[in-house]
Structure 1
Amino acid sequence: MTKEALRLHGVRKVHGTGENQVVALDGVTLSLSAGTFTAVMGPSGSGKSTLLQVAAGLDRPTSGEVFVDGREMTGGETELTRFRRDRVGFVFQQFNLIPTVDVLANVLLPAKLAGRRPDTARAEEMLGRVGLGDRLRHYPHELSGGQQQRVAIARALVTSPAVLFADEPTGALDTRSARDVLALLQEAVRVHGQTLVMVTHDPVAAARADAVVFLADGRIVGRMISPTVDAVAERLAHLGDDLVRG
């Protein structure tokens, strides 16, 4: 059997109370196998980023269960923080690099935060994998946006996370840099067996994935296997029809 990397069961996330209550996720159930690349799409306010945050343990669901690498995301904040550092990777639209330290130090940061001895050889290996083996001592401001995002990817992968979560990772990049970053993420899945969940609004980015999950009003309203750019764009245009039928 294929190992399950991520499972959400009946996940509901509610913000606010009374008349100000907003249901961000409404009974989401989802299972993703290890070594797969899944894109999450939907209109603004559909719950995409909330889904990512809850799945990654950055936010707690109001109800329901979340399992990462077979472990339910429960317990105290210290325990969850430790688990995230060991088993979860993050890549965001804004690269979130520390500007006052060099590229190598940025990649070593997760180990330092976890109180572990930094594995410099592993960090250098990851930077070589993303094509920045010759930029170890450069600072973030000396790199292009695409290069900075590649540093962020190396930092996310250095701990060999069970699941890598990416929230609009190409949103701040030009077309060429975006293409390079997507190819790198795809390689992490295809060649190195990484599990990747990526929120995106871009059908071109989504077409790189093995499957696309479509959200609307906090609910999963469709799933597409082996997506193409045109098929994804067409499905996005008809998400409202899915809600009416639902």
Structure 2
Amino acid sequence: MNDVVRLDAVSKVYGRGPNTVFALREVSVGIPHGSFTAVMGPSGSGKSTFLHCAAGLDQPSSGSVRLGGTELAGMNETELTELRRKRIGFVFQAFNLVSSLTVTENITLPLRLAGVRVDRAWLEEIVDRVGLAGRTGHRPGELSGGQQQRVAIARALVTRPEVVFGDEPTGALDTMTARDVLTLLREVVTTMRQTVVMVTHDPVAASYADTVLFLADGNVVDAMAAPSAEKVADRMTRLGAWV
């Protein structure tokens, strides 16, 4: 089995009785190694819950989530924190950089928190790949939004994670900058064989992926290979989601 992440019959339920909300309903899906997967759906479709359960940020109510050969169900919060720190990378819409730290210090923060020695050659390669050579001594406030997101991507890659999860990673960027960041994520998958799973509402962003998963009412209702922005937008319209 070549899936980096595997969800089997995953449900997530909030509340009880008449107030019960099914955020995910018996979702089963595998994310192959070295793939770029976009997750789309209308507001309330379960996109964020899907990402949180797949990434070990939240525990499903039922079902199985596996990262490689590791079953996440039953892990306590300390174990999940360690797993996320060592084996998963995250890129968020808000960058989540530490303003007082330099680019290098922000990138290597996960290693320092985990007590792992920085591999200088690997760090240099990542900095070069994300286009931040010459900026490593700068602080976030001295960088553009696109450069800050590149720092966040480098930070996500520095631990050599098994998968990188992006939660609307281009949501705070203008169109041209967003395309630069998406091109970088695409290159990370193609040249570094990294696995990327990205939640997005933008059909253009989704078009950079190998596969798009469509969620509606907590279910994966469709999957599209070799997506184009036009095909994705059309499919979203028929989910009743595209305004």
Q: Establish whether TM, by shorter chain, passes 0.5.
A: yes
Q: 2:59 aligns to what SS in structure 1?
A: coil
Distance 1:139 1:18 in 2: 50
Whether 1:100 and 2:108 are equivalent positions in the alignment is no
User: Counterparts of 1:55-134 in structure 2 under 5 Å?
Assistant: 55-74=54-73, 75-134=75-134
Number of residue pairs matched by the alignment: 240
**Matched residue, 1:45:** 44
Cα offset, 1:80, TM superposition: 1.4
- In the other structure, the counterpart of 1:3 is 2
- Which runs of no fewer than 5 residues in structure 2 stay unpaired? none
Between the aligned partners of 2:118 and 2:194, the Cα distance in structure 1 is 22
CA offsets per residue over residues 11-52 of structure 1, 9 Å max, x none?
000112222221111111001210011100000110001100
Aligned-partner Cα distance in 2 for 1:19–1:97: 41
> Which is worse superposed, 38-47 or 112-121?
112-121
Q: TM-score, normalised by structure 2?
A: 0.96
Distance 1:8 1:59 in 2: 13
Aligned residue for 1:25, secondary structure, equals: strand
- Superposed, 1:157-172 pairs within 5 Å as 157-172=157-172
Aligned-CA RMSD value? 1.3
Which amino acid in structure 1 is aligned with residue 119 of structure 2? Answer: D
Partner AA of 1:61 in structure 2: P
- Partner amino acid, structure 1, of 2:127: L
Give 3-state SS (helix, strand or coil) of 1:208's partner: coil
For the Cα contact (< 8 Å) 1:8–1:67, is it kept in 2?
A: yes
Tell me if the contact between 1:100 and 1:139 (Cα under 8 Å) persists in the aligned partners: yes
Name 1:156's counterpart in structure 2.
156
**Aligned-pair distance for 1:4?**
1.3
Q: Which residue pairs with 1:211 in the alignment? A: 211
Q: Which digits, 9 at most, give the CA deviation of each residue in 1:94-146, with x for residues without a partner?
A: 00000011100001100111122233443232111100011000000000000
Deviation at 1:240, TM superposition (A): 4.2
Sequence identity percentage: 59
TM-score of the superposition, structure 1-length normalised?
0.95
Distance 2:124 2:140 in 1: 16
Q: SS in structure 1 opposite 2:192? A: coil
Runs of 5+ in structure 1 lacking a partner?
242-246
